[in-house]
């Protein structure tokens, strides 16, 4: 049960012209902390509500670092919740397909749940048929993170910290991870990940938000999708890469110019669940995708430092879960754009390395920017 919130910050930002034009520009940014419930082990979990000066709202719990709500204006200024999830902790504890959570240590699959590093074979949980998925049985999506509200010139945020001990879920090394969510006045949800380790280990962190820019009023098939990728990672029937990066131009995989998600759905058995290889420029952060939903006018742009994005159309949703606002989560009710490294990189020598070594710093940044047209 969500109790009465405590306003942690009420930030009085003033515009640069304030003295000149004598207008009073009182900040509407705030962070509210509420009790979100107690885990089965008796640990209390919180829910933080972040609000920017435009009234955009993001709710985040320190259980799994889950973004439970994302309230974004449409072209008429009406707010809708554009992310899938629940309004109570118990529903998350009961099990869900990674709604809005931080995924680690390794997002997506590792073949047969094993990899070799410096001559040692490491065994991981096989929690997705014969493969390892999203960090194992109790991945970062189910951990309780230390949380600290943040306010700076960009906006309001929440800094989450977790230490994953040596051999947790079979992965070597003590990994120290910080994930900071910032809600900016540019209507961006900006996620910054940093990590260090004391033994080499594959690391591939991502955020598993599901979006529906109609606010759940319709399925996602009429959303217009553009993905900045000329190639995708070919996978076998267990969704493990074959090693081939295939040109997609002109095929049903091609989103280099805007196409509705549903336009070629009949040619993609089961729906999209593919890793797109981002066309990287010389800048550190590149456009990954742009999504436009015509009825609401909402636009979401995704930018990232990562080499690829997993475009997933909720193919495994089966109507057995009902989320916020009584929306039944059936197939194609939400889509994900998970920015990350390629699946199974620890077993694929031709893929960019995901090994984090002692003395190095893992860092990745991804921005989900909302606007209307």
Please tell me whether the peptide bond between 105 and the residue prior to it is cis, using omega within 30 degrees of 0.
yes
Task: State yes or no: residue 310 binds ligand GLA (CB under 6 A).
Answer: yes
Catalytic residue flag (residue 134): no
Task: State yes or no: residue 253 binds ligand GLA (CB under 6 A).
Answer: no
- Total residues in contact with ligand GLA, by rule CB under 6 A: 11
Report 91-120 residues binding ligand GLA (CB under 6 A).
97-98, 108
DSSP labels for 273-318? EEEEEE---SSSSEEEEEEEETTTTEEEEEEESSSEEEEE--TT--
Nearer to ligand GLA, 176 or 273 (CB): 273
Our separate counts of H helices and E strands in the chain read 2, 29
Distances (CA, A) of 357 to 110, 166, 321: 19, 14, 40
Q: Which residue has the tokens 């598993």?
A: 208
Catalytic residue flag (residue 208): yes
- Taking the complex as a whole, how short is the minimal distance between the CB of residue 106 and ligand GLA, in angstroms? 12
Q: Which residue has the tokens 């040619």?
A: 267
Nearer to ligand GLA, 81 or 338 (CB): 338
Task: State yes or no: residue 336 binds ligand GLA (CB under 6 A).
Answer: yes
CA distance 237 to 241: 9
How many residues comprise the chain?
373
The radius of gyration of the chain's CA atoms, rounded to the nearest angstrom, is 20
Nearer to ligand GLA, 52 or 83 (CB): 83
- Taking the complex as a whole, how short is the minimal distance between the CB of residue 133 and ligand GLA, in angstroms? 6
Catalytic residue among 132, 208, 223, 341: 208
Report 163-192 residues binding ligand GLA (CB under 6 A).
none
Cβ neighbourhood burial of 118 (10 Å; 0-12, 13-18, 19+): exposed
Nearer to ligand GLA, 129 or 166 (CB): 129
Task: State yes or no: residue 10 binds ligand GLA (CB under 6 A).
Answer: no
* Nearest one of 161, 155, 159 to 48, comparing CA atoms: 159
Task: State yes or no: residue 330 binds ligand GLA (CB under 6 A).
Answer: no
Catalytic residue among 132, 224, 338, 341: 338
Residues with catalytic function: 208, 338
Binding site for ligand GLA (CB under 6 A): 97-98, 108, 133, 239, 273, 310, 312, 316, 336, 338
């Amino acid at each position: 049960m969500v109790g009465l919130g405590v306003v942690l910050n009420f930030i009085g930002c003033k515009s640069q012209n304030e003295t000149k034009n004598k207008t009073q520009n009182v900040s509407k940014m705030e962070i509210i902390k509420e009790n979100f419930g107690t885990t089965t082990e008796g640990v209390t979990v919180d829910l933080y509500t972040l609000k920017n000066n435009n009234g955009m709202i993001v709710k985040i719990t320190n259980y799994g670092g889950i973004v439970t709500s994302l309230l974004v204006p449409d072209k008429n200024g009406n707010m809708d919740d554009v992310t899938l999830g629940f309004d109570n902790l118990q529903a998350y504890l009961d099990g869900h397909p990674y709604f809005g959570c931080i995924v680690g240590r390794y997002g997506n699959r590792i073949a047969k749940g094993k990899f070799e590093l410096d001559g040692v074979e490491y065994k991981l949980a096989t929690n997705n048929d014969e493969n390892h998925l999203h960090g194992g049985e109790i991945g970062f999506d189910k951990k309780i993170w230390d949380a600290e509200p943040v306010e700076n010139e960009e906006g309001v945020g929440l800094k989450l910290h977790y230490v994953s001990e040596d051999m947790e879920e079979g992965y070597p090394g003590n990994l120290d991870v910080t994930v900071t969510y910032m809600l900016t006045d540019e209507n961006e949800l900006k996620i910054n990940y940093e990590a260090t380790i004391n033994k080499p280990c594959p690391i591939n962190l991502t955020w598993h938000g599901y979006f529906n820019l109609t606010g759940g009023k319709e399925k996602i098939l009429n959303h217009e999708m553009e993905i900045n990728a000329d190639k995708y990672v070919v996978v076998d029937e267990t969704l493990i890469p074959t090693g081939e990066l295939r040109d997609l131009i002109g095929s049903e995989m091609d989103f280099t110019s805007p196409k509705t998600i549903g336009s070629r759905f009949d040619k993609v058995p089961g729906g999209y669940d593919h890793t797109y290889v981002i066309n990287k420029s010389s800048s550190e952060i590149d456009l990954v995708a742009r999504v436009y939903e015509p009825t609401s006018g909402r636009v979401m742009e995704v930018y990232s430092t990562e080499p690829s994005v997993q475009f997933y159309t909720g193919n495994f949703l089966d109507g057995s879960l009902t989320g916020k606002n009584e929306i039944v989560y059936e197939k194609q009710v939400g889509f994900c754009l998970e920015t990350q490294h390629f699946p199974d990189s620890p077993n694929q020598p031709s893929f960019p390395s995901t090994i984090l070594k002692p003395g190095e710093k893992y860092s990745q940044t991804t921005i989900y920017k909302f606007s209307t047209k």
